[in-house]
Each structure stands twice: as C-alpha cells, then as structure tokens.
C-alpha cells in the first residue's frame, strides 16, 4: 500500500513539474467535484453551432464528434486498478481527439477523472485528477492546447456502475472527455 502512495505521489510531482501547478476550487452541489484546472472563461462553456456535418465516405449525417464509425465518438478512457497511465488500446482515441482539438482551436473539453470506490475520498480524488492529467498530457502533446482543456476530478462520487464487483470497479475507473464547445 505504501508503494502505491509513493507511486501516486511521484506521478503527481512529475505532472506538477511538467504542467505547472493547478489551482483547486471545490464545487458544492449534489456531488462534490474538485476543479483542478480551468483555463476558459464562463462565456465559452456553451455549445457552439451544433450544425449537421456529413462525414466523407460514411453516409453519416450528424456532428463529426458523434459519428459512431470514428474514434471521436468514443469519449471514455479506462484505467487499470490504481494506475494513471493510459492503456495502449486507448491511445488512438486520445490521438483522434487531439487532432480534432488541433483542427478546431475554439473547441473546449472537460476531462472528468473518476475512480472506483476502493480507497479514501481524498486518495480517489487525487487518483481521478492524475488520470485526467494523463489524458491531458497526451492531448496536448499530440496537438491540442492546454487552453482547450479543463480538468475535473470526481473521485468515486459518480460511479456508472454501483456494483461491488471487479467489472463494476473497472467501469468506474475512467476519464470522460466532455466537449464544452465543439467548434
């Protein structure tokens, strides 16, 4: 257990050194969320023109971010138990979103970090934050800018599966890519 805390502490320190310190504010609503990094104004949070787009060669009519035939429709990245590194199978999804952000400089995303129910509230909030930072790191390395990304950590507070099984816990260890503006 101590080794796990040391690894997490090391990951947080390295992230802080690489990406600068983030401010933390607490939001009180039905569920507590820690705002880790907010680099956009409140005026930018509404959805931009959600016009219909036609994806080339697919026949899809709808917004390109919702096309089920592309990686852009995948907006959840999963993590292994007590890990913050992005799994190799999820990298193509993050790369697709990074390219979208690069091609659409006015687009903004929120990366919502989550953990399963095991661990303390504080530990799980830190774990969710570290997971969101890992995704942000790849997004900005590939093409998105830090100004396009907002981080949130919900820790264990918003499970998608309330079960107490390994399958339920695996579903809850995630980062959700939520587009605040699409264009």
Q: pLDDT tens across 59-95, in order?
A: 788 899 999 999 999 999 999 999 999 999 999 999 9
Q: Are 173 and 79 in contact (CB under 8 A)?
A: yes
Q: Are 129 and 16 in contact (CB under 8 A)?
A: no
pLDDT number for residue 59: 79
Q: What is the C-alpha to C-alpha distance for residues 79 and 181, in angstroms, rounded to an integer? A: 26
**CATH T-level topology, domain 2-181:** 60s Ribosomal Protein L30; Chain: A; (3.30.1330)
Beta-strand ranges (E) seen in 103-148 are 108-114
Q: What is the C-alpha to C-alpha distance for residues 161 and 150, in angstroms, rounded to an integer? A: 25
Q: Has residue 175 got a pLDDT over 80?
A: yes
DSSP state of 106: T
Q: pLDDT tens across 98-114, in order?
A: 999 999 999 999 999 99
3-state secondary structure of 42: helix
Q: Has residue 153 got a pLDDT over 70?
A: yes
Q: What is the C-alpha to C-alpha distance for residues 113 and 26, in angstroms, rounded to an integer? A: 15
């Amino acid at each position: 257990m101590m080794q796990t805390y040391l690894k997490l502490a090391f990951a947080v320190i390295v992230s802080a050194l690489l990406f600068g310190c983030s401010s933390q504010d607490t939001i009180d609503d039905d569920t507590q969320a820690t705002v880790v990094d907010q680099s956009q104004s409140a005026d930018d949070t509404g959805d931009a023109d959600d016009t219909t787009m036609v994806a080339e060669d697919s026949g899809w009519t709808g917004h390109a971010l919702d096309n089920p035939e592309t990686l852009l429709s995948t907006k959840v990245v999963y993590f292994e138990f007590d890990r913050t590194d992005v799994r190799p199978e999820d990298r193509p999804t993050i790369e697709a979103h990074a390219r979208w952000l690069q091609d659409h400089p006015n687009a903004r995303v929120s990366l919502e970090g989550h953990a399963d129910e095991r661990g303390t509230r504080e530990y799980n909030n830190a774990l969710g934050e570290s997971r969101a930072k890992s995704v942000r790191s790849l997004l900005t390395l590939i093409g998105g800018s830090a100004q396009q990304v907002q981080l949130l950590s919900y820790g264990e507070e918003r499970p998608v599966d309330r079960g107490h099984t390994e399958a339920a816990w695996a579903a809850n260890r995630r980062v959700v890519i939520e587009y605040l503006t699409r264009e």
